[in-house]
Structure 1
Amino acid sequence: MTKANKYTHITHESIPLFIDDDSTILILGSLPSVKSREVGFYYGHPYNRFFKVLSSLFNEEEPIDIDDRKSFLKKHRIALYDVIYECDIISSSDASIKNVIPIDIKSILDRYTNIKTIAINGNKAKHLYDKYLLQIARTYGVKTIYLPSTSPANARMNIDDLIKAYSLIK
């Protein structure tokens, strides 16, 4: 196995749950990319369109640095985390993910009772959410919505299509 194809064991300790007591929407991806883990915050790859989409949706300037992104999310009561707490992965390839341990959604929903909607970002996150977390979230009466990935790997969707899809969270 070449170095490029080597599995790395990842835990979510490098980027904690981003949430506060006022959060009403929890957006879950699959797992932070290598670049996000390097910068220490969600959607850190420069070509990921997540913050471009949300800022367009809310008619605001796109937040660039991490502190501005956090302020933007808090202002709009958006929390961020991922479906996966721990797994083995090759680089940032969702297709390579194995040995998944999901997040403890029950503890999150017990603690943050203002969460009314969970939005799932991308197909891999959807598959894993449905497998591990959906039934638990339903017991809390939380609405689940599925959104397309904002990753640069999702080239089939242009920015306008993503903004339209993400309007469900507004």
Structure 2
Amino acid sequence: MNRINSFPPIVDENSRILILGSMPGAKSLQMQQYYAFPQNQFWKIMFHLFDAEFSQDYQARISLLKTNNIALWDVIESCERKGSSDTEIKDEIDNNIPELIKNYPNIKTIFCNGQKSYKNLVKILGKDFKIPIVCLPSTSPLHTVKFDEKLESWKVIRII
């Protein structure tokens, strides 16, 4: 099995929110873009949350995040995995989340995209970390909750 690596974080000095996934799926790795799998609802949710016209253009997607002070990364730096499912992740190495938070002190809340990223993050940072950690429903198509229900849960991001 081949070892796969996550992407660098999308972050700048204005980032107030950090959204963490687990590890990019096969389509994302192939395209070298976060959430590139068309059935993943991450980008659809982001555009809905900020009342922006949906775009397939990756630079427009990144711009939407930065405009809204959102940083994006994954909790896992590298792992072995067959396919794209989090349940297939083996031999994982964590990204240095504490260093990212230290280097970008404006980050005030961390949102985890699904249970895997949340469980890994709590292992890294502990439950009583200095800034809030919120677990949101996964945007993956494997998490079979209706779009409207996911969107409703994700609306908490706008309040921060």
Following superposition, the deviation at residue 163 of structure 1 comes to 0.9
Ranges in structure 1 where 5+ consecutive residues have no aligned partner:
1-6
Percent identity between the aligned chains? Answer: 38
Following superposition, the deviation at residue 21 of structure 1 comes to 0.7
1:150 to 136, 139, 142: 139
Structure-2 residue corresponding to 1:111: 103
Larger radius of gyration: 1
1:46-71 superposed Cα distances (whole Å, 9 cap, x missing partner):
11111111111111112311110011
Ranges in structure 2 where 5+ consecutive residues have no aligned partner:
none
1:165 to 144, 147, 153: 153
Structure-2 residue corresponding to 1:31: 23
Moved over 6 A (4+): none
Distance 2:90 2:50 in 1: 36
Query: Aligned letter for 1:111?
Result: N
2:4 to 10, 15, 23: 10
* Aligned 1:41-120 pairs, distance under 5 A: 41-120=33-112
Distance 1:27 1:18 in 2: 10
Q: Secondary structure at the match of 1:131?
A: helix
Query: Aligned letter for 1:36?
Result: S
Q: Does 1:133 align with 2:125?
A: yes
Number of residue-to-residue matches in the alignment: 158
Following superposition, the deviation at residue 147 of structure 1 comes to 0.3
Distance 1:123 1:60 in 2: 27
Q: Secondary structure at the match of 1:99?
A: strand
Cα pair 1:8 1:91 within 8 Å, conserved: no
Following superposition, the deviation at residue 169 of structure 1 comes to 0.9
TM-score of the pair, normalised by structure 1 = 0.88
Q: Secondary structure at the match of 1:21?
A: coil
Q: Secondary structure at the match of 2:15?
A: coil
Following superposition, the deviation at residue 133 of structure 1 comes to 3.0
Q: Secondary structure at the match of 1:41?
A: coil
Q: CA RMSD in A?
A: 1.3
